[in-house]
Amino acid sequence: MLNIVLVEPEIPHNTGNIARTCSCTDVKLHLIKPLGFSLDEKQLKRAGLDYWDKLDLEIHEDIKSFFEKYGEDNIFLVETGEYKKYTDVDYTNHESIFLLFGQETKGLPKELLEKHRDKCIKIPMASNIRSLNLSNSVAIVTYEVLRQLNFNNLE
């Protein structure tokens, strides 16, 4: 089972777009508080369109409670930096997969990246550019994992 984990997301329409991607791909979405917006915001709902009732969504009070529930074995941290490419990972050896993405302005916490350096992956891009849009990054890596898993019965 594939899971997208947004650690303290800040921008409602990014999260709305990601919710729509998760709904369309039958992927569970985890939101880790604090959130930079209310789940009732119009921008969030608009970006997710009418897919909210089809979304498998779980909200966590903080990163500690997320790890207490799910552990740290099947995680991959998506971040810019000197990490292996997301396409260099064999995702087929995992029963469940959790892809963690950080805040739009700060990324994932440095201590989390240092602790799990062997689980850090990146999307290659031009060296003089800071990062891709969060919702685009989620879509890119999600579809690579799904491709390797033969699209999990998606049509």
Grouping H, G, I as helix, E, B as strand and the rest as coil, residue 103 is strand
Model pLDDT for residues 97-107, shown as the tens digit of each residue: 999 999 999 99
3-state secondary structure of 62: coil
Range 5-9 average pLDDT = 97
Exposure string of 71-100, with b = 16+ CB inside 10 Å and e = fewer, is: eeebbbbbbbeebeebeebebeebeebbbb
Lookup: tokens for 73: 């074995």
Q: Are 145 and 91 in contact (CB under 8 A)?
A: yes
Segment 10-27 shows an average pLDDT of: 93
Tell me what pLDDT residue 142 has: 98
pTM for the full model?
0.94
**CA atoms of 89 and 93, how far apart (whole Å):** 10
User: Across the chain, where does the E strand assignment appear?
Assistant: 2-7, 28-32, 57-60, 75-78, 84-85, 97-101, 120-122
Quick: pLDDT tens for 30-51.
Answer: 999 999 988 876 766 665 557 7
The pLDDT, as a whole number, for residue 116 is 97
